[in-house]
Chains A and B, each alone.
Chain A
């Protein structure tokens, strides 16, 4: 889901940054306000954790392996604003130091993965889990559904970014300049593969980790203040 440079036109990359700059500003303000001084390293640890879980190869049916993103999991553990910062930091490091994802596309990638996935996943998690106890099955189901839908929504916004390229940038002779597939192809292709394969990987990983934490440290999966 990391968009490399070259697929998106400059306007889309600029809109990605324009959308993310205020989000990063608000996230920094909220996190600074809510995080105790002793918890400052937690944000860095959260970013490193999300970077590392993206590297785990998870066995999926058919003998192959897939990767999880972990944004909803980090949002459940740290809250959506802190998750936005942690995942953004992981994406910036991946892009700048490991060439995974474009530098100009950092804004777009952070919008889809760090913001959309964290917030939508966290919202769904809170909505379904309600005021249930930390060890309840409802919370486990909520985490799974949130991870599945959060990733699918992130794939949807990514596919929109790809799909609008032929509409925005096409020459008179019909030559495409950036991502060649319109919305009719990009949305079903991206959303479809996430609904069928990667959404389930995300769901399984999130459920397993939440289940583990329910047994070990149940208060960790309760949103702040509950």
Chain B
């Protein structure tokens, strides 16, 4: 009887702990995001090679390099790309441990799980390299499957690393401003800049209210109550944000807003920026030539 009671108690504690994880997880996600933002800005403020480049050239070069990586079909070339990216990170004074953790942990690890079934002959038929006994059935791993999975994973790592390098070596508000070179509609440009600032404000609101729930309520008894709390919070957050628009508009008018957004252009290019652009174009041309040669 006692053991049943004990078991029931344990189960209850576990379900309570599970029901509460959403609060802790959301708080942790917010803190992680803010930390990532702060460390990104700190790295972007360092006097590294990429930090000194004109962000417009950096963004275009990054896009060209991404296109080159996506077009690449040879694993050795993808590995060479990765070495270049790591070298660029080092000369840009990005902490290598931090960079590797940021680029290798989440998306590539998730991709590994996605790509794993594709190495078997059921998904990628081809030359069998190894045969495995899976219960009563025999399944084979193919050479084509293995190679394809390796290429896809390396390509994803290269793409993530390039994006993270751009993000770490450019100040966030400057990077968003750079998007103007693509002649985005003015509504878009203004919304991007303003939304970026509001994200932090709304995150602070959520952080404060969730901390208050955690410290005052203590525990949330069930997942159902948890969902109700989230729903109420989202609704409340929307109402608060909606009511804020008038104050924001008044603040904009007091700073000279007349209906058309105006932004300052303070970008200056140097010869090194052209070197970066030419370097990425040469790489892309090299990849295109290599693909044609292999075809």
| A binding-site residues for B, Cβ under 8 Å | 4-7, 9-10, 13, 24-25, 28-29, 31-32, 37-49, 51-53, 55-61, 63-65, 70, 73, 77, 85-86, 88-90, 92-93, 95-99, 102-104, 171, 173-181, 185, 204-205, 207-209, 211-213, 216-217, 220
- For B185-215 the 0/1 string (1 means CB < 8 A from A) is 1111011111110110111001000000000
Residue with the highest number of chain A CB atoms closer than 10 Å, among B159, B191, B223, B259: B191
Nearest chain A CB to B236's CB is how many angstroms away? Answer: 7
Partner of A4, one of B111, B185, B233, B242: B111
Distance, CA A176 to CA B144, complexed state (A): 8
Beyond A42-B242, A57-B26, is A185–B123 a contact (Cβ under 8 Å)?
yes
Nearest chain A CB to B82's CB is how many angstroms away? Answer: 12
The size bracket of the interface on B is 35 or more
Contact B124 A85 (CB under 8 A): no
Distance, CA A13 to CA B66, complexed state (A): 12
Distance, CA A103 to CA B202, complexed state (A): 25
Contact B63 A103 (CB under 8 A): yes
Contact A175 B196 (CB under 8 A): no
Nearest chain A CB to B283's CB is how many angstroms away? Answer: 15
Contact A45 B244 (CB under 8 A): yes
* Residue of B whose beta carbon sits closest to that of A220: B242
Chain B residues near A178: list those with CB within 8 A.
152
Asked if B8 is at the interface of the complex by the 8 Å CB criterion, the answer is no
Distance, CA A98 to CA B106, complexed state (A): 12
Distance, CA A92 to CA B175, complexed state (A): 11
Asked if B22 is at the interface of the complex by the 8 Å CB criterion, the answer is yes
Distance, CA A96 to CA B173, complexed state (A): 11
Chain A residues near B234: list those with CB within 8 A.
53, 56, 70, 73, 205, 208-209, 212
Beyond A52-B237, A175-B151, list 19 extra A-B contacts (CB 8 Å): A6-B111, A6-B155, A28-B187, A38-B245, A43-B187, A44-B193, A49-B238, A52-B202, A53-B237, A55-B203, A57-B22, A57-B29, A58-B227, A88-B188, A97-B196, A102-B163, A173-B144, A204-B231, A212-B232
Contact B191 A85 (CB under 8 A): yes
Closest 7 CB pairs of A and B: A208-B231, A212-B235, A44-B194, A48-B198, A5-B159, A63-B18, A47-B195
Chain B residues near A32: list those with CB within 8 A.
185, 187
Chain B residues near A49: list those with CB within 8 A.
202, 237-238, 241
Contact A4 B126 (CB under 8 A): no
Beyond A56-B230, A60-B223, is A99–B102 a contact (Cβ under 8 Å)?
yes
* Residue of A whose beta carbon sits closest to that of B146: A175
- For B124-152 the 0/1 string (1 means CB < 8 A from A) is 11100000000000000000100111011
Asked if B93 is at the interface of the complex by the 8 Å CB criterion, the answer is no
Asked if B46 is at the interface of the complex by the 8 Å CB criterion, the answer is no
Nearest chain A CB to B170's CB is how many angstroms away? Answer: 9
Distance, CA A160 to CA B149, complexed state (A): 20
| B binding-site residues for A, Cβ under 8 Å | 14-15, 18-19, 21-22, 25-26, 29-30, 33, 36-37, 40, 62-63, 66-67, 69-71, 73, 102, 107, 111, 115, 118, 123-126, 144, 147-149, 151-152, 155-156, 158-160, 163-164, 166-167, 172, 175-176, 179, 184-188, 190-196, 198-199, 201-203, 206, 223, 226-228, 230-239, 241-242, 244-246, 248-249, 252, 259
Chain A residues near B188: list those with CB within 8 A.
24, 28, 85, 88-89
Nearest chain B CB to A176's CB is how many angstroms away? Answer: 5
Partner of B199, one of A48, A65, A185, A213: A48
Contact B111 A177 (CB under 8 A): no
Residue with the highest number of chain B CB atoms closer than 10 Å, among A41, A52, A96: A41
Contact A52 B239 (CB under 8 A): no
* Residue of A whose beta carbon sits closest to that of B220: A59
Chain B residues near A52: list those with CB within 8 A.
199, 202-203, 206, 237
Distance, CA A177 to CA B156, complexed state (A): 12
* Residue of B whose beta carbon sits closest to that of A176: B148
Chain A residues near B158: list those with CB within 8 A.
6
Contact A208 B190 (CB under 8 A): no
Nearest chain B CB to A106's CB is how many angstroms away? Answer: 11
Contact B245 A97 (CB under 8 A): no
Distance, CA A28 to CA B190, complexed state (A): 11
Contact A45 B235 (CB under 8 A): no
Distance, CA A184 to CA B158, complexed state (A): 29
Beyond A181-B118, A209-B231, is A173–B191 a contact (Cβ under 8 Å)?
no
Chain B residues near A13: list those with CB within 8 A.
70
Contact B191 A174 (CB under 8 A): no
18 A-B residue pairs with Cβ-Cβ distance under 8 Å, sorted by A, are: A4-B111, A4-B156, A4-B160, A10-B67, A24-B188, A44-B193, A44-B194, A45-B245, A48-B196, A51-B199, A53-B237, A56-B234, A63-B14, A103-B166, A181-B118, A207-B231, A212-B232, A217-B239
